[in-house]
Amino acid sequence: MLENKVAYITGGTKGIGYGIAKILLENGISVAFSGRKRDDVEKAEHDLQQYSDNVLGIVSDVRNLESEKKAVKYIIEKFGRLDFVVANAGLGIFKPVDELSAEEWNDMIETNLTGVFYTLKASVGELKKTEGYYITISSLAGANFFENGTGYNASKFGVVGFTQAAMIDLRKYNIKSTVIMPGSVATYFNGNIPSEKDSWKIQPEDMGNLVLDILKMNPRVLPSKIEFRATKPAK
Ligand SMILES: NC(=O)c1ccc[n+]([C@@H]2O[C@H](COP(=O)([O-])OP(=O)(O)OC[C@H]3O[C@@H](n4cnc5c(N)ncnc54)[C@H](OP(=O)(O)O)[C@@H]3O)[C@@H](O)[C@H]2O)c1
C-alpha cells in the first residue's frame, strides 16, 4: 500500500528525522530528507542507502521559503510525486527569558514555527495532487511550559495550533495532518550525544514506527494530535 509513495522529511541528517527516514525506507517508501550542511547531508544519504536506494539528500534551510520550494522541485524531478511531508527540523535553546537574546528567539521561531509553515507552503500543491499527509513534530513542550523554555515553548505551542488549524483547511482536499508531541527522544538535540544513558528515552526508530503506523491508518480516520512519551521516564 505504501510502496511507490514518496516522503519529504526536513532535518533528516540525524536524530528523529533520520530515524523516520530509516523506517520509511525499510517499508518501501522513497525518502527525500534535508539538512543545512552539505557534508552531513551526503553522509546521511550514504548511510541511509543501506536500507534502500530510493533516498535523496537535499541541502535546504527551512527558514528560507525559496530553499524549500527548490527542495520540493528536486523531489518531483527525482521521484515524480510527493505524498508525505514530515516537518521535523528544529532546535532548542534553553535560558531564562531575561538572558535569551533576540537572535536566539528568532532562531527558534524561524526554524521551529515559520519553518513548518514554509515547508507546507512549498509542498501543499503537490500534496493536493496526491491527497497526501502532512505531519509536524512539535513536543510535549507544546502543551507544558517550563523554566528556561520561553522561546522553545512559544515555538512548539505555535506548531500545535498551526497544525490543528491547517488540518481543518487541508482535509477539504483529502490531505490529512497530524501533530506529534514527543517527550524525550535519544538524539543530538541541545548538544546531547546519544548513549546508554538515553536507553529509557523514545528512540528515533520509535518515532519512525509511529509515523509508519499513522500513514497506514484507514483513510477515514485522522489522529490529529498525538502525545508520545517514554513509558518509564528516568527519575
Ligand atoms: N530530542 C527530543 O527529546 C525532542 C523531543 C520533542 C521534540 N523534538 C523535536 O524533534 C525535532 C528533531 O529534533 P532532534 O531531537 O532529532 O534533534 P537533532 O538530533 O539535533 O536533529 C535536528 C535535525 O534538524 C536539522 N536542522 C536544524 N535546523 C535546520 C534548518 N533550519 N533547516 C533544515 N534542517 C535543520 C539538523 O541538521 P543541521 O543542523 O545540519 O541543519 C538535524 O538534521 C525538533 O523539531 C525538536 O524540537 C525533539
Tell me if 37 CB under 6 Å of ligand 1.
Answer: yes
pLDDT tier, 235 (very low <50, low <70, confident <90, very high otherwise): low
pLDDT digits (tens, 9 = 90+) for 200-223: 999 999 999 999 999 999 999 999
Cα 14 to Cα 19, 37, 44, 187, 205: the distances in Å are 8, 12, 7, 7, 11
Neighbours of 178 (CB within 10 A): 22
Q: What does the pLDDT look like over 156-179, one tens digit per residue?
A: 999 999 999 999 999 999 999 999
4 alpha carbon, distance to own chain's centre = 21
> For residue 97, what pLDDT is reported?
98
Report CA 214 to chain centroid distance, whole Å.
14
**Residue 56 φ/ψ region, left for φ over 0, alpha for ψ in the -120 to 50 degree band, beta for the rest:** beta
* Average pLDDT score over residue span 178-197: 98
Active-site option among 118, 152, 173, 188: 152
- In degrees, to the nearest 5, what angle opens at C-alpha 144 toward C-alphas 232 and 104? 110
Read out DSSP for 113-163?
A: IIHHHHHHHHHHHHHHHHT-EEEEE--GGGT---TT-HHHHHHHHHHHHHH
pLDDT exceeds cutoff 90 at 183: yes
Kindly state the average pLDDT of the residues 86-114.
Answer: 98
pLDDT recorded at residue 23 = 98
Q: For 22-42, what is each residue's pLDDT tens digit? A: 999 999 999 999 999 999 999
Summarize pLDDT for 44-63 with one digit per residue, the tens: 999 999 999 999 999 999 99
pLDDT tens sequence across 56-85:
999 999 999 999 999 999 999 999 999 999
Nearest CA to ligand 1 atom 47: 90
Q: Report all structural domains of the chain as residue ranges with CATH numbers, in order of start.
A: 6-228 (3.40.50.720)
pLDDT of residue 133: 98
Share of the chain above pLDDT 70, in %: 100
97 residue type, one letter: V
Q: In the predicted model, is pLDDT for residue 14 greater than 70?
A: yes
Q: Cα(110) to centroid of ligand 1, in Å?
A: 13
Mutate to test the pocket of ligand 1, among 137, 144, 199, 226 (most ligand atoms within 8 A of CB): 137
- Cβ atoms 225, 164 nearer than 8 A: yes
Whether the CB-CB separation of 187 and 204 falls below 8 Å is answered with yes
Asked whether 188 lines ligand 1 (CB < 6 A), one says yes
